[in-house]
Amino acid sequence: MSKIELLAPAGNLEKLKTALTYGADAVYIGGESYGLRAMADNFNLDEMAEGVKFAHDMGKKVFVTVNIFPHNDDLKGLPEYIKSLEEIGVDAVIVSDLGIFSIVKETAPDMGIHISTQANNVNYKSAQMWYKLGAKRVVLARELSLDEIKEIREKTPLDLDLEAFIHGAMCISYSGRCLLSNYMTGRDANRGACAHPCRYKYYLVEEKRPGEYFPINEDEGGTYIMNSHDLCMIEHIPEIVDSGITSFKIEGRMKSSYYVATVVKAYREAIDSYLKDKENYKFNPKWLDDVSKASHRNFSTGFYFGKPQAQIYTNSSYIRSHDIVGMVKEYDKENGIATIEQRNRVFKGETLEVLTPKGENFNIVLNEMWNSEGQVIDVAPHPQMIYKIKTDRELKPLDMLVKEKGE
């Protein structure tokens, strides 16, 4: 079986560098067209080239989403785009449409092709067929159990990678194929512009009583009837490794750099711990605590252990216990001065946690702060302002300063 790959989302260049620095083996990104996250920052070709070089210098990979369901007009310019991706050195494209698949094979025959979860890969025969056509990887549908995945692994060539989501948002529609956004807002989810109407609060209206809204009670107080739990498999690393999945995929190209760093680091530590000593592996509750700090909805194990439990719940609110307040840009060892880019307001005297790619996180106190002009300050209030702090603990670029919400 292939080496286990930890695959992380990257909505922009900073998130790409963060994901790879914090332990991802590969990232998936979107260009300015043809992907299913039109609202993400996404990459132009120059940024993509910089990201690919950064990844390859670390011995890691970059995959690009080209997974819309294209209408005729969407195909204009696609061959040229695929050729540009090949020239940049992208490791593979992720596709869901057979027409796009054929364009890739014609335009860049040596390009790796991964079959998106949008293609509803739920059985071994479809995986076998994609392999025969030339796909190097199949991204399995979220609706599969571990037992079903094991059977797919047993009946497919070992050099066909199997990728599956192990953490992040779930979709109420089958493998992400949804018409609701298009119907309600004119924004086509299958072409990258989902408005997430599954997260709306719905009421029932009787036609002869206009203006009278009745809550739809799924249980005692539930009205968010299509809003799903987030997926979290951090407590089940042995099961997903032993199922035959070769690429563990984290959802979240729209999520923050803090989310990417926190989740990637936790899964990296859990995976490495299990692979190092399977016989004596023991789950560390800290890993679950860490992924719970970043913005998320209530966790579940999705379909992995059969029919999901509590797939629908009572609100659409995110849970977030911690906020990133600063990203380290550089550190002057001689003077013990760190340069920080502000991400949320922070005050002198506050105790902050430092999230660092390797090793245990640690705390520092902001005893001294200066703005970019060297003036002493008591607060860093402005988004993305550059400020400096005094700390004897060495900080590194992409370390993150984090504080608990409410402090």
Do 26 and 154 belong to one domain? yes
Would you state the pLDDT for residue 216? 63
- In-domain check, residue 310: no
Do 14 and 101 belong to one domain? yes
- In-domain check, residue 198: no
At residue 41, does pLDDT exceed 90?
no
pTM, entire model: 0.87
Do 290 and 384 belong to one domain? no
Q: Which two tokens stand for residue 385?
A: 């302002």
Cα 221 from Cα 35, distance rounded (Å): 37
Quick one: pLDDT band at residue 274, thresholds 50, 70, 90?
Answer: very high
- In-domain check, residue 188: no
Cα 293 from Cα 139, distance rounded (Å): 28
Do 56 and 121 belong to one domain? yes
Identify which of 205, 144, 203, 151 has the alpha carbon closest to the alpha carbon of residue 175: 144
Categorise residue 9: left if φ over 0, alpha if ψ from -120 to 50, beta otherwise. beta
Domain CATH number, residue 116 = 3.20.20.70
Residues 217-271: tens digit of each pLDDT: 555 444 556 677 889 999 999 999 999 999 999 998 889 999 999 999 999 999 9
* pLDDT (mean) for 271-280: 96
Residues 281-311: tens digit of each pLDDT: 999 999 999 999 988 888 889 889 987 654 4
Do 255 and 167 belong to one domain? yes
Would you state the pLDDT for residue 8? 98
Do 273 and 331 belong to one domain? no
What dihedral do alpha carbons 124, 130, 135, 141 form, nearest 10°?
Answer: -50
Q: Which two tokens stand for residue 323?
A: 């906020």
Residues 319-352: tens digit of each pLDDT: 788 989 999 999 999 999 999 999 999 999 999 9
At residue 34, does pLDDT exceed 60?
yes
**Of 211 and 134, more confident:** 134
Would you state the pLDDT for residue 312? 46
Do 278 and 329 belong to one domain? no
Question: Which range, of 35-44, 66-75, 239-248, 350-359, averages the lowest pLDDT?
Answer: 35-44
Residues 92-122: tens digit of each pLDDT: 999 999 999 999 999 999 999 999 998 999 9
Quick one: pLDDT band at residue 189, thresholds 50, 70, 90?
Answer: confident
E strands of 43-181, at which residues?
61-65, 92-95, 112-115, 137-139, 161-169
**Of 42 and 3, more confident:** 3
Q: Which two tokens stand for residue 203?
A: 């009421």
Would you state the pLDDT for residue 214? 67
Q: Are strands 362-365 and 247-250 parallel, antiparallel or unpaired?
A: unpaired
Would you state the pLDDT for residue 1? 45
Would you state the pLDDT for residue 186? 77
Domain CATH number, residue 386 = 2.40.30.10
Would you state the pLDDT for residue 254? 85
Would you state the pLDDT for residue 35? 61
Do 36 and 121 belong to one domain? yes
Would you state the pLDDT for residue 355? 97
- In-domain check, residue 191: no
Do 268 and 331 belong to one domain? no
Cα 379 from Cα 116, distance rounded (Å): 46
Would you state the pLDDT for residue 222? 47
What's the CA angle centered on 391, arms 387 and 392, to 5 degrees?
155
- In-domain check, residue 58: yes
At residue 16, does pLDDT exceed 60?
yes
- In-domain check, residue 205: no
- In-domain check, residue 252: yes
| Residue span of the structural domain in which 344 resides | 322-404
- In-domain check, residue 168: yes
Total domains, the chain: 2
Do 59 and 157 belong to one domain? yes
Do 70 and 163 belong to one domain? yes
Q: How many CB atoms lie within 10 A of CB 15?
A: 26
Would you state the pLDDT for residue 313? 46
Question: Interhelix angle for 45-57 vs 13-21, to 10°?
Answer: 10
Cα 248 from Cα 271, distance rounded (Å): 10
For the chain, what is the mean pLDDT? 89
* pLDDT (mean) for 398-403: 96
Question: Which range, of 72-76, 212-216, 221-225, 259-263, averages the lowest pLDDT?
Answer: 221-225
Of all residues in the chain, the percent with pLDDT exceeding 70 is: 89
Do 144 and 269 belong to one domain? yes
Would you state the pLDDT for residue 297? 83
At residue 400, does pLDDT exceed 50?
yes
Quick one: pLDDT band at residue 36, thresholds 50, 70, 90?
Answer: low
Cα 56 from Cα 386, distance rounded (Å): 30
Residues 377-399: tens digit of each pLDDT: 999 999 999 999 999 999 999 99
Of all residues in the chain, the percent with pLDDT exceeding 90 is: 70
